[in-house]
Amino acid sequence: MATPTKAPDAHAAAFEGFRPEAMQFLADLAANNERAWFQAHKREYERLLKEPLEALCVALDERFAARRLPFGADPAKSPFRIYRDVRFSRDKSPYKTNIGASFPYQERTDTGAADGAARQAAADRRGAGGYFHLEPGTVFIGGGIWHPEPARLAVWRAALDRDPAAVHAVIGEPAFMAEFGAFGGLGLGDRLKRVPAGFRPDHPEAELLKLKDLTFGRRLSDEEAFSSGLPDLLVDAFAASAGVLRFIARVDAGATGGNPDKHAACID
pLDDT at 202: 96
Distance CA 158, CA 171 (A): 16
CA nearest to 71, candidates 230, 257, 214, 249 = 249
CATH of the domain at 50: 3.30.930
In a domain, residue 221? The reply is yes
In a domain, residue 30? The reply is yes
The yes-or-no verdict on residue 265 having pLDDT over 50 is no
The yes-or-no verdict on residue 117 having pLDDT over 50 is no
Coil/strand/helix, residue 230: helix
In a domain, residue 267? The reply is no
Phi, psi of 99 (to 5 degrees): -125, 155
pLDDT at 110: 58
pLDDT: is 113 or 224 the higher one? 224
Residues 6 or more apart from 227 whose CB is under 8 A from it?
A: 17, 233
pLDDT at 111: 52
Residues 6 or more apart from 203 whose CB is under 8 A from it?
A: 161, 195, 209
Residue 43, Cβ neighbours under 10 Å: how many? Answer: 10
Distance CA 12, CA 74 (A): 13
Cα 30-32-34 angle, rounded to 5 deg: 110
In a domain, residue 191? The reply is yes
The yes-or-no verdict on residue 126 having pLDDT over 50 is yes
**What is the reported pTM?**
0.85
Chain centroid, CA 257 distance in Å: 23
pLDDT at 56: 98
Residues above pLDDT 90, as percent of the chain: 73
Distance CA 123, CA 126 (A): 8
The yes-or-no verdict on residue 255 having pLDDT over 60 is no
In a domain, residue 158? The reply is yes
In a domain, residue 1? The reply is no
Ramachandran area for residue 39 (φ above 0: left; ψ -120 to 50: alpha; else beta): alpha
pLDDT at 186: 85
pLDDT (tens digit per residue) in 183-232: 678 888 899 999 999 999 999 999 999 999 999 999 999 999 999 999 99
In a domain, residue 40? The reply is yes
CA nearest to 207, candidates 223, 191, 225 = 191
Distance CA 4, CA 63 (A): 16
Q: Would you give the end-to-end CA distance of the chain in angstroms?
A: 24
In a domain, residue 11? The reply is no
Phi, psi of 132 (to 5 degrees): -125, 140
Pairing of β 129-135 and β 99-104: antiparallel
Number of structural domains, the chain?
Answer: 1
Confidence of residue 25 (pLDDT cuts 50, 70, 90): very high
pLDDT (tens digit per residue) in 48-80: 999 999 999 999 999 999 999 999 999 999 999
Domain assignment of residue 85, given as a range: 20-262
